[in-house]
Amino acid sequence: MNKFVYTPGPTIVRENVRLAMAKYATNPDLDYEFYDFYKNTCKKIGSIINTKNPVYILGGEGILGLEAACASLTEEGDRVLVIDNGIFGRGFDDFVKMYKGEVVYFSQAYDEPIDIKYLKAFLEKDSNFKYATIVHCDTPTGVLNDLSQICPLLKEYNILTVVDSVSGMVGEEIRVDDWKIDIVLGGSQKAISSPAGLTVVTLSEDAVNTIKQRKEPVTGFYCNLGIWENYYEKKCFPYTMPINDILALDRAIDNVLDEKIENVLNRHKKIAIATRNAIKEYGLELYLKEGYSNTVTSVKIPKNIGALNLKDHILNKYNVLLATSLGEYEDKILRIGHMGENAKLEYIIYVLNVIENGLSDLGFKGNGKLVELFNKYYF
C-alpha cells in the first residue's frame, strides 16, 4: 500500500499532472514547436507571479536556482547581505562564499518575520552591498517575510534582491514587478504541485545587466543564468530540457490558472488560518510568534513525546508520511505542509485526524477534536 505523503514539499501531484508527464515527447532541441510551448509555459508563470520580466524553467530542483543566482551575480570580494531569520535564509551564505563573495548577515529571531524598521536602521549605517538574499517563506519554520516592504527598501539603496520563493510561490501572493524584485526562484514540487526536478527563475533588467557587466566570467556553465539569453530567437536551449517534467509543470500551471490564482491564494489562507486556530485551541503551541505563512504550519511537540517519535509512530501505524523540521528543530517541530494540492479540505481533514490519533496513542490529551475545531474556524 502506498504511503499517504503530506509534507511541505514534495506535495501531492494531481492525476492530470501525472498523466501529462507520461505523454509521448518530442525532441526538445530539434522540434521548434517545443520552443513555443516552453516560452508559453514561462509566460503563464509570469502572469501568476505578476512580472513582465523573462521567466525561465531550469532543469534541476530548486536548490539549482539558489546556487545559480549567487553564481551569476557574485564576483570575488563582492559584499552580499544575507537576510537571516531562518535556516534556509542563513543557508544562502554557503553559495555566496562558494563563489568568493563576502557575507554580511542581517539576523533576527527565527520565530518572527524580518522587522522592516530594524532593517532600515541597519541599511542607514551600511548599504554597500551588491545584492541581498531573502527567503519568502522559510520552510523549516514556516515564517513569512514581507517582500512588499523588504525588496523596495533594498532597491532604494541600489541593492539587487535575490528571493527564494520556493515554498511561497503560488501559495502566497508575489508581485515581482510591483515589489521591485530582481531574481525570484521557485520550485516545481511545492505549491505548484508538480513533480520535483524543476526551478522557476525570473530576471529583472538590472539583474541581466549586472551579469553582463561582470569583470570575470561566471564560474561554471550550468549555474550561469546568462546562458539563457536569446535562447528563443536562436532556437537553442543551453542544454537538453527535461521535456516530460515540463509537460507536467505546464499542466500544473494550467490547474492554477483554471482555478484562478486569487482563489488558490484564498484557499491556502482559509486552510492555514483554520489549521493554526485549531492547533492552538486543541492545546498545542505554534512555533512562530507571528509572520505565519499560508503554506506551512510548524507545531511544537511536547518533549515527552518528541516530534521524531510522533512522525515515526504515525508512519508505522497509519502509513502517513509527515515531516519534522531541520537542525535544532528536528525533534521539536512537526510541520503541516498545507501547500498546493495538499491545501484541499479532503486532505487536511484526513491529516489532522491522523495527527490527533498519533498524539493520543502517545499519551497526549487534547481539548476536543482537531477536525471539529478546524471546521469551527473554516466554515
Picking from 208, 225, 258, the residue at the C-terminal end of a domain is: 258
CB atoms inside a 10 Å sphere around CB 270: 16
Last residue of a domain, one of 258, 293, 315: 258
**Domain shared by 237 and 269, yes or no:** no
291 and 166 share one domain: no
**pLDDT values of the chain reduced to their tens digit, one per residue, 379 residues:** 799 999 999 999 999 999 999 999 999 999 999 999 999 999 999 999 999 999 999 999 999 999 999 999 999 999 999 999 999 999 999 999 999 999 999 999 999 999 999 999 999 999 999 999 999 999 999 999 999 999 999 999 999 999 999 999 999 999 999 999 999 999 999 999 999 999 999 999 999 999 999 999 999 999 999 999 999 999 999 999 999 999 999 999 999 999 999 999 999 999 999 999 999 999 999 999 999 999 999 999 999 999 999 999 999 999 999 999 999 999 999 999 999 999 999 999 999 999 999 999 999 999 999 999 999 999 9
Q: Are residues 170 and 268 part of one domain? A: no
* Strand ranges for 119-173 from DSSP E: 131-135, 137-138, 143-144, 160-164
The whole-number pLDDT of residue 304 equals 97
Q: What is the pLDDT of residue 113?
A: 98
Cis geometry, peptide bond prior to residue 10 (ω within 30 degrees of 0): yes
| 64 and 25 in a common domain | yes
In this structure, what C-alpha cell is assigned to residue 338?
498545507
Q: Which of 258, 276, 292 is where one domain is finished?
A: 258
264 and 130 within one domain: no
Residues 6+ apart with CB under 8 A from 170: 48, 186, 190, 191, 192, 256, 261, 264, 340
Nearest by Cα to 288 from 106, 86, 11, 8: 86
The answer to whether residues 79 and 226 belong to one domain is: yes
**200 and 159, same structural domain?**
yes
Provide the pLDDT for residue 40. 98
Same domain, 152 and 118: yes
DSSP class of residue 169 equals: B
Same domain, 61 and 138: yes
**In terms of domains, do 73 and 157 share one?**
yes
Same domain for 103 and 22: yes
Same-domain pairing of 37 and 71? yes
What is the separation, in whole angstroms, between the first and last Cα of the chain? 33
C-alpha dihedral, 349 to 352 to 357 to 359, nearest 10°: -170
Report the CATH number at residue 282: 3.90.1150.10
The pLDDT of residue 315 is 98
CA 275 to chain centre: 20
The count of domains in the chain is 2
Question: Domain of 139: which CATH number?
Answer: 3.40.640.10
User: For position 139, what pLDDT does the model report?
Assistant: 97
Q: Are 167 and 62 in contact (CB under 8 A)?
A: no
Q: Tell me the three cell numbers of residue 76.
A: 570575488
- DSSP 8-state symbol, 329: G
Structural domain containing residue 335:
4-8+260-378
pLDDT, position 6: 98
The three cell numbers locating residue 168: 511561497
**Residue given cell 541581498 in the structure block:** 132
Give the H or E element holding residue 232: helix 231-234
The pLDDT assigned to 59 comes to: 98
Please tell me the pTM assigned to this model: 0.96
